[in-house]
Amino acid sequence: MVKYDRVPDTKQKWFKEAKYGLFIHWGLYALLAGEYKGVKTDHISEWIMNSLGIPVGEYEKLADEFNPVDFDADALVKMAKEKWGMKYIVFTSKHHEGFAMYKSEVSKYNVVDATPCHRDILKELADACKKYDMRLGLYYSQAQDWHDPNGYVSHANGDEAQRKDNNFKKDFQYYLDNKVKPQLKEILTGYGEISLIWFDTPMAMTKEQSQECIDLIKSIQPNCVISGRVGNQLGDYMTTGDNFLPRLPFEGDWEVPATLNDTWGFNKDDENWKNPEDILKLLIKITSRGGNYLLNIGPKASGEIPEKSVGILNEVGKYVTENADGIYGTVRGDIYPYELSWAEFTYKKNKIFVHVFEPRKRLEILNCANHVKKAYILKNDQELDFVVEPTCEGDTIVTVEIPKEWREEKYYCVCIETEEDGPVFEPLRG
Ligand code: JFZ
C-alpha cells in the first residue's frame, strides 16, 4: 500500500525529496579527454589509464599539466541550483585513478601538492555549496585505486585468472587502513557538512570492510547518507546500474546515476548526446517511481563545462524550475494500469501531477476514479474544466479540458487535486 503522506522526517528526508542531482566526474583523465599517444579509448574516458594500460609513472605526470583556469565553482553551483533545479551535487574527490581532488596529507598525489595550480578544488566547491545552500556529496573510490600498489584493479590486462590473482596478492586491508580511511576522515572533517558519500565498485571487499567504512563515516558525520555501492548491501539506498531505470516503482530510497552522452569523464570525441526531451522524460519516470536522478557532467581539463551539457541541462532545468511542485517531494505512486506515450504521473498527498509530453485537446485518464476538486496548469495556476464520469463500459474516466491556447503546447504539467490521499486507479477487467 502506497502512503501519500509527506515522507517522515528522517535523516534521509532531504534525499527522498531531492529527486534531481548533479554528478561531477573530474580528475586527471580530463587532460587526456579520451586519447593517449594517438590511441583513442572506446571505453568510458575516466577509465583510460586502465583501458589503455598506461603505467602509473607515466600517468602521474599528467598532474604537472593540471591548471583549470576556467573552473569557477561559484558559477557552476549557482547554475546547478538556480537554472538546472538540482538539489544536490556529488563530486569525485578521488576516482579509480587514485588522484585526490583536494588537499590531502595522506597522499601527495593530490590537486594542491602535485599540480602547478595548487588549488583545493573541493574547498572551492564546498564554499560555493554553502553559499547557495546546495547539498554536497562526495564520490570516493574505496576499492579500486590504480595508483596505490594495494588498491584493487578491475579489467586489468590479462585473463580473468590473472586479474583475480593480481588482486588476491595485494594487501587490501593495508590500503584501506592507510589510504581510504584516513582520506575519508579528511574529506569528512575539512569541508563542512558532507551530505552523502558515493562509494563505487566494491569488488572483493568483505562485509567487515564495507562496515568499517560506514562506521568511520557515521562516527564523524552521523547524518551522512551512504550510497549502495559501499558493497555487501550495506548502503543507505539502492544505486541502480548506470543509466538503468527500474520498470516498476521500487520501495525504499534509490537513485539512477546517468550520463548525458556515453562517458562520465570528459571525452572530446563523444558527441552521442541525449536530447533534453528524453532526459526530462527519464527524470519524470524516475520521480514517478520514487527515485532520484543523478545526472553527470564531465568538465574539461580547463574547468570549462562542455557547452552541449550546459545546453541540455538549461532546457531540462526550465521545465524543472517551472514545475517544481510536481517534482520535488513527490512520492512513489500506485501503478497506473496503462502505458501512455503522452504523459507520466507524479504524486503528492491529494495531488496527481500529469506531465504532458504531447499536444492534447484534453487529458483523458481512463480508470481513474478519484473525486477531483480542482485541475490547473501548474506553472501559471490557470484553472481547467474537468468531468469525472462513467464510460459506456462502466469504468470511470477523468477528463480535463485543455484550453485553445495550450493545445499546441507540449511539456507542461497539469495538477489534479483530489479528495483522496492518492490516485484511485481501477484495475482492468474483462
Ligand atoms: C562506475 C565507475 O567505474 C565509473 O567510472 C563511473 O564512476 C560510474 C558512475 O560508476 O562504473 C560502474 C559501476 C557499477 C555499474 C556500472 C558502472 N553497475 O552496477 O551497473
Among protein residues, the one whose CA lies closest to atom 19 of ligand 1: 241
* Side chain identity at residue 37, one-letter code: K
> Which pLDDT does position 163 carry in this prediction?
61
Cα 26 to ligand 1 centre (Å): 14
Ligand 1 centroid to 242 CA: how many Å? Answer: 6
The pLDDT of residue 272 is 98
DSSP-based three-state secondary structure for 8: coil
Q: What is the pLDDT of residues 128-183, one digit of tens each?
A: 999 999 999 999 999 999 999 999 998 655 566 656 667 888 999 999 999 999 99
Cell for 253? 530510497
Q: What is the CA radius of gyration of the chain?
A: 24
Protein residue whose Cα sits closest to atom 3 of ligand 1:
201
**Closest residue by CA, ligand 1 atom 6:** 264
pLDDT in tens, 65-113: 999 999 999 999 999 999 999 999 999 999 999 999 999 999 999 999 9
Of the pLDDT bands very low, low, confident and very high (cuts 50, 70, 90), residue 324 is very high
pLDDT at 157: 57
Domains 13-326 and 343-418 in one fold: no
First to last CA, the chain: 24
Dihedral through CA 393, CA 397, CA 402, CA 408, nearest 10?
A: -60
Report how far ligand 1's centroid is from the alpha carbon of 201 (Å). 7
Asked if 264 contacts 139 with a C-beta cutoff of 8 angstroms, the reply is no
- For 332, counting Cβ atoms within 10 Å of its Cβ (0-12 exposed, 13-18 middle, 19+ buried), the class is buried
Query: Does ligand 1 have an atom closer than 6 angstroms to the CB of 23?
Result: no
Query: Does residue 46's CB lie within 6 angstroms of at least one atom of ligand 1?
Result: yes
Q: Is the pLDDT of residue 1 over 50?
A: no
| Alpha carbon 356 to its chain's center | 23
Distance CA 276, CA 260 (A): 9
CA of 309 to the centre of ligand 1 (A): 20
Task: Give, in words, the CATH class of 13-326.
Answer: alpha beta
Beta-carbon count within 10 A of 166 CB: 14
Is 6 a residue whose pLDDT tops 60? no
C-alpha cell at 65: 599539466
Residue 213 Cα to ligand 1 midpoint, Å, equals 19
Interatomic CA distance for residues 208 and 367, integer angstroms? 50
Which of 92, 200, 244, 293 best tests ligand 1's pocket when mutated (most atoms within 8 Å of CB)?
200
Confidence of residue 9 (pLDDT cuts 50, 70, 90): very low
What is the arithmetic mean of pLDDT over 337-366?
Answer: 97
Q: What angle in degrees, to the nearest 10, is found between the helix axes of 307-322 and 276-288?
A: 50
DSSP 62-107: GGGG---TT--HHHHHHIIIIIS---EEEEEEE-TT--BSS--SS-
Q: Ligand 1, residues 145, 262, 263, 264: which to mutate, most atoms within 8 A of Cβ? A: 264
CB-ligand 1 contact for 242 (6 Å cutoff): yes
- Domain spans in the chain, listed from the N-terminal domain onward: 13-326, 343-418
Mean pLDDT of 396-408: 98
Task: Tell me the pLDDT band of 16, cut-offs 50, 70 and 90.
Answer: very high
For the whole model, what pTM was predicted?
A: 0.96
Instruction: Find out whether 334 and 425 touch, Cβ atoms under 8 Å.
Output: yes
Q: List, for residues 361-394, the tens digit of each pLDDT value.
A: 999 999 999 999 999 999 999 999 999 999 999 9
CA-proximal residue: ligand 1, atom 7 (nearest): 264
From the CA of 200, how far away is ligand 1's center (Å)?
7
Cα separation, 208 vs 93, whole angstroms: 23
Q: Tell me the average pLDDT across 28-53.
A: 97
Tell whether ligand 1 has an atom less than 6 A from the beta carbon of residue 243.
Answer: no
Mean of the per-residue pLDDT values of the chain: 95
pLDDT at 2 over 80: no
- The DSSP 8-state label assigned to residue 325 in this structure reads G
| pLDDT of the residue at 156 | 56
Ligand 1 in contact with 200 (CB < 6 A)?
A: yes
How does pLDDT run across 216-274, given as a tens digit for each residue?
999 999 999 999 999 999 999 999 998 899 988 888 899 999 999 999 999 999 999 99
CATH entry, 343-418, from 3.20.20.80, 3.40.50.1240, 2.60.40.1180, 3.30.300.30: 2.60.40.1180
- Which tops the pLDDT comparison, 301 or 332? 301
Distance CA 290, CA 248 (A): 9
* Candidate from 201, 244, 254 with most ligand 1 atoms within 8 A of CB, to mutate: 201
pLDDT, position 417:
98
